[in-house]
Amino acid sequence: MPGLLPAALAAQGRYNVVYIMTDDHTAQMMSCYDNRFVSTPNLDRIAADGVKFVNSYVANSLSGPSRACMITGKHSHKNGFTNNEHGIFDGSQQTMPKLMRAAGYETALIGKWHLVSTPTGFDYFDIVPGQGDYYNPDFIKMDGSTVTEKGYVTNLITDKAIDWMANKRDKSKPFILFIHHKACHRPWLPEMKYIRAYEDQTFALPATLYDDYEGREAAAAQEMEIGNNQHMDIVYDNKMYRPGANTRLTDLYLSMLSRMDSKDRADYDYFYDSIANRFYAQNLTGKALTEFKYQRYMRDYAKVLKSLDDNVGRTLDYLRDAGLLDSTLVVYTSDQGFYMGEHGWFDKRFMYEESFATPLVMRLPNGLSARGDIKEMVQNIDYAPTFLDIAGAKIPDDIQGESLLPLLKGKHPADWRKSLYYHYYEYPAEHSVKRHYGVSTADGWKLIHFYQDINTWELYNLNEDPQELHNLYGQPGTEKVTKRLMKELVKLQKQYDDQDALKLNNQK
């Protein structure tokens, strides 16, 4: 074999990086974070052989923007990709994959890209168009052609990732491989072998399923409620199809299913039709309907996750069998968190904990000694500088994230950041979440400003109100803490140079 053996690479500190990112996977549905709902043994393996970040967050809780923050190490207003709906990522800008490549790494991207422009900085890519499909999905190749491939998307992405590591890469170089799964994005279409999984399980209702949004105007204005059929579609999301159905998303649903092989489709219809027949015979309304939809949602999401967990296991097994584990940093994260019925919701976008947070676990190669939980506040803008640091490359001054490498070495720098900045832009748009920015502090406080066609501030004490139900902004006795958070917010806006937001602080 030409080039350096894995052990030699590790000795040089030039670890490989396998970065696995899912779509919309949230910590509530990952057993090493939260074991109430599902078991994810393979994801948990990553944490067991390394670290679990328990204060891991995104800078903008939406797919494209989150991915842009990740590959640039910069907040949205700096990388330019602020929202999914109007954005085209400017691929001519500095990105971490380009810098990794310049540092001698082989770079590859497989799966969901979602940044519209053709990926730059990759020696190899094989991506799904837009959101991609679950069944017999299309893939866009480097020559620009689109090919429909047979199978379930999570298996196919993993097959491709393993094939690239085993057969396609230049083995004389260290590599960074981005495996971007489509799972577990809406509408949670399961792999056929798991279509019957979780059907005996009844999931506990979240305490805030019937939140009334009192004191939170933006929360009241959203369109992401499980119980509302205009928000969570009974056909598309819950798969309760019957002939003549004409909900807003019925056509989209049927077009997705039309990709299936006929035998699978017959089995799929047989399974969901029997549930739909019972459902329509009951004429559920009110809370009974909401809770039926919640259970369907949880089960389908859990099924999709089961295939994902299997495939992460396959990826780890490949690395082990190829002798690469000791020289490879394996990262598992999601493009953002997600609501599993908290506040009555699905989807993400808000700076509230469930969607501001994102799972982040890492299996560490030989030589990186940290183990267990890491409590420092980290954000997805930190991944780029971390990987550059691992590659021994210079971290450019304009990168806004911090390298996590000291934390992976078991250090706890006293001057580690004590607050995080967030800015969400996609409004007006699907799910109607107002534009907002805010600051969250290590001592458990959060201040958020919703703006544009609204002008409201929210203040939370997470230590006493972890579910963020009590907006304390403007309450007597909070003047001092509000002032402190306001100061911290302005400090971060200046540090990150978010000039537009700075001006909005004084919106009248």
Instruction: Catalog residues that contact Ca ion under the rule CB under 5 A.
Output: 23-24, 63, 335
Q: Which region, judged by CB under 6 A, interacts with ligand SGN, from 163-171, 180-188, 367-375, 466-474?
A: 180-188
Residue 430 binds which of Ca ion, ligand SGN, none (CB < 5-8 A, kind-dependent)? ligand SGN
Out of 56, 84, 238, 403, the only residue in the binding site for ligand SGN (CB under 6 A) is 84
CB of 62 to ligand SGN, least distance (A): 4
- Of 119, 122, 211, the residue nearest 175 (C-alpha): 122
What does the radius of gyration of the chain's CA atoms come to, in whole angstroms? 22
Q: Is 186 in the site for ligand SGN (CB under 6 A)?
A: yes
By C-beta, is 132 or 206 nearer to Ca ion?
132
x-or-dash pattern for ligand SGN, window 92-131, by CB under 6 A? Answer: ---------------------------------------x
Residue 249 binds which of Ca ion, ligand SGN, none (CB < 5-8 A, kind-dependent)? ligand SGN
CB of 93 to ligand SGN, least distance (A): 21
User: For the range 197-200, what are the long-range contacts, defined as Cβ-Cβ under 8 Å and sequence gap of 24 or more?
Assistant: 197/299, 197/302, 197/303, 197/306, 198/38, 198/298, 198/299, 198/302, 198/303, 198/306, 199/299
Ordered DSSP codes for 240-282 = ---TT---TTHHHHHHHHTTS-HHHHHHHHHHHHHHHHHHHHH
Phi, psi of 503 (to 5 degrees): -70, -30
Residue 186 binds which of Ca ion, ligand SGN, none (CB < 5-8 A, kind-dependent)? ligand SGN
Whole-angstrom distance, CA of residue 136 vs CA of residue 305: 18
Out of 20, 23, 198, 330, the only residue in the binding site for ligand SGN (CB under 6 A) is 23
Site for ligand SGN in 194-253 (CB under 6 A): 249
Whole-angstrom distance, CA of residue 465 vs CA of residue 242: 43
Q: Is 257 in the site for ligand SGN (CB under 6 A)?
A: no
Q: Which region, judged by CB under 6 A, interacts with ligand SGN, from 118-126, 184-192, 205-213, 370-378?
A: 184-192
Q: Which residues pair with 225 in a beta bridge?
A: 345
Q: Is 431 in the site for ligand SGN (CB under 6 A)?
A: yes
CB of 154 to ligand SGN, least distance (A): 16
By C-beta, is 24 or 488 nearer to Ca ion?
24
Residue 123 binds which of ligand SGN, Ca ion, none (CB < 5-8 A, kind-dependent)? none
- Of 351, 223, 229, the residue nearest 292 (C-alpha): 229
CB of 429 to ligand SGN, least distance (A): 9
Answer left, alpha or beta for residue 459, where phi above 0 means left and psi between -120 and 50 means alpha. Answer: beta
Phi, psi of 158 (to 5 degrees): -70, -45
Phi, psi of 135 (to 5 degrees): -105, 130
Terminal Cα-to-Cα distance of the chain (whole angstroms)? 67
> Can you tell me which residue has the tokens 């328990």?
54
Q: Is 284 in the site for ligand SGN (CB under 6 A)?
A: no
Q: Is 363 in the site for ligand SGN (CB under 6 A)?
A: no
Q: Which region, judged by CB under 6 A, interacts with ligand SGN, from 179-187, 284-292, 324-332, 471-479?
A: 179-187
Binding residues for ligand SGN, rule: CB under 6 A, are 23-24, 62-63, 84, 131, 185-187, 249, 347, 430-431
